[in-house]
Amino acid sequence: MVESKFSKVDFSKYFQPPSLKDARRRRREPVHIINDFSIPDEMKTIGRGKKYLIETYGCQMNEADTEVMAGILEKMEYQETEDTDQADIILINTCAIRENAENRVFGHIGRMKQLKLEKPELIIGLCGCMAQEETVVNKVLQTYQQVDLIFGTHNIHRLPQLLQEALFSKEMVVEVWSKEGDIVENLPMARHGHFQAWVNIMFGCDKFCTYCIVPYTRGKERSRRPEEIISEVRELARLGYKEITLLGQNVNAYGKDLKDLDQYGLGNLMDEIRKIGIPRVRFTTSHPKDFDDHLIEVLGKGGNLCEHIHLPVQSGNSDILKIMGRGYTREHYLDLFHRIKKAVPHASFTTDIIVGFPNETEEQFEDTMSLVRECRFDGAYTFIYSPRSGTPAARMTDNVPMEVKKERLQRLNALVDELAAKSNAKYQNQVVEVLVEGESRKNASVLSGHTRTNKVVNFVGPETLIGQLVHIKITEAKMWSLDGEWQREPEVAGR
């Protein structure tokens, strides 16, 4: 039997309860750039002969955080494993964006009870966005005593110290700061790929869309210094990386908080990165409100800036957008969309859409459908609205019946599929540039990669092509992928 840790928790010492209310505040405190990451001497070899496993849910920000945690653990000599039975430490990096994402994590931790009974020295840690919610922390404290360690998104750099406490005390260690957030610059990183890399350019979000939990779990918008980002990108270029993705929840707000720089924004940053010898540069996620003309102009210069824009719209109806707190109208979005399209004619566009927001009428939903038709998106992530406790929308009456939400989602998805197929059909017989990422998920003898416009391409070729940019002639366009033939002698630089 695992002893009840709950009864033994010394709250004063370990338990710093998170608070969504505190996390909501924006006190305009200055952002501190911290360089004080360190590993206590007695922890430097603690992982020798031991293995770690990190499970990652959620968005690219979490994937990038996982690479930092992996880097920290490897500095303590832990080695990676994918086998749960082999692991001495398992970290679950969670996402709080929708209820079903959370439920999956709870189910998963529940099943880990048996593992912990069989291997009591195993350390199980919960981190990521769910750890920032007090309801989650309370639930774990009360029901999931197999968990040894809970830490928040602002506490990642403290992993060595927290792990030390978890290893040498029998109590559940909880450290979650509900603060606006700092930037920690000197963290190690074990990047997952050798030719594709995430580059955080900013953290947090100040948009407070009424349905969204992210501003609470990730703190305020804070930008990394351009010189730090550029030197990271230069280093990646030197190491032979082929593609980088600049990351942030609202990358178009980049630079707003860098008061000493004169209106330095994402356009300026990308204009500098454009000159670095890395073949592909992507960025995500864009917010329509802050997408400015300078960025459009820079994107129009092409070069290594890929022609794919992810521009979440959420709804095609201005009244719904208003109660979502998005800060733009349908007309503004469409105007922006067409201006980007004009500047970058071959760009592909993807979006995010929520259906069944409180009070959404059939007519308002039809506005979303008509906007999707007008934009002819290449793809869309579509979601049924999920109330997140602590957010303003969760206090609105959720008056759209579930059957209606599901039916709207189905109709929307059918339209998205139809448009994706049409957009892919245009690639028939074209020669496109593909970054070869690995074997296809469905068939190991087939290689797979993405075009600059972010389309999946499958083709037969030697494994030695993995990590290279090749030219592929498209022979069959499917709804969500393209099949093609490897062109040994590239003909043209395609799209």
Q: Note whether 307 and 340 are within 8 A (CB).
A: no
Residue with tokens 């309801």: 135
Q: Is 306 annotated as a binding residue?
A: no
**Considering beta carbons, is residue 215 or 226 the nearer one to ligand SF4?**
215
**Considering beta carbons, is residue 62 or 386 the nearer one to ligand F3S?**
62
Binding mask 124-143 for ligand F3S (x = CB under 6 A): ----xx--------------
User: Looking at 214-222, 231-239, 330-338, 375-383, which segment touches ligand F3S (CB under 6 A)?
Assistant: 214-222
Based on the shown chain and the rule CB under 6 A, indicate whether residue 250 belongs to the binding site for ligand SAH.
yes
User: Looking at 201-209, 302-310, 340-348, 485-493, which segment touches ligand SF4 (CB under 6 A)?
Assistant: 201-209
Based on the shown chain and the rule CB under 6 A, indicate whether residue 330 belongs to the binding site for ligand SAH.
no
Based on the shown chain and the rule CB under 6 A, indicate whether residue 207 belongs to the binding site for ligand SF4.
yes
- Running DSSP on this structure, what letter comes out for residue 305? B
69-95 burial code (b ≥16 CB/10 A, e <16)? bbebbbbbebeebeeeeebbbbbbbbb
- What's the CA gap between 382 and 409, in Å, rounded? 7
**Shortest Cβ distance from residue 30 to ligand SAH (Å)?**
24
Query: Which amino acid makes up residue 422?
Result: K
Q: What is the dihedral of CA 91, 94, 99, 103, to 10 degrees?
A: -10
**Considering beta carbons, is residue 90 or 431 the nearer one to ligand F3S?**
90
Q: Contacting ligand SAH (CB under 6 A), which of 19, 63, 80, 98? A: 98
**Shortest Cβ distance from residue 172 to ligand SF4 (Å)?**
30
Containing H/E element for 425? helix 402-425
| CA-wise closest residue to 176 among 374, 20, 401 | 20
**Shortest Cβ distance from residue 384 to ligand SAH (Å)?**
7
- What's the CA gap between 429 and 138, in Å, rounded? 57
**Shortest Cβ distance from residue 386 to ligand SAH (Å)?**
4
> Where would I find the beta strands (DSSP E) of 196-252?
196-200, 202-203, 222-223, 243-247
- What's the CA gap between 462 and 448, in Å, rounded? 11
Could you check whether the bond before residue 453 is cis, i.e. omega within 30 degrees of 0? no
Q: Which residues bind ligand SAH (CB under 6 A)?
A: 97-98, 211-212, 214, 249-250, 285, 287, 312, 314, 352, 354, 383, 385-386, 388
Q: Which residues bind ligand SF4 (CB under 6 A)?
A: 205, 207-209, 212, 214-215, 249-250, 287
Residue ranges of the binding site for [4Fe-4S] cluster: 59, 95, 129, 205, 209, 212
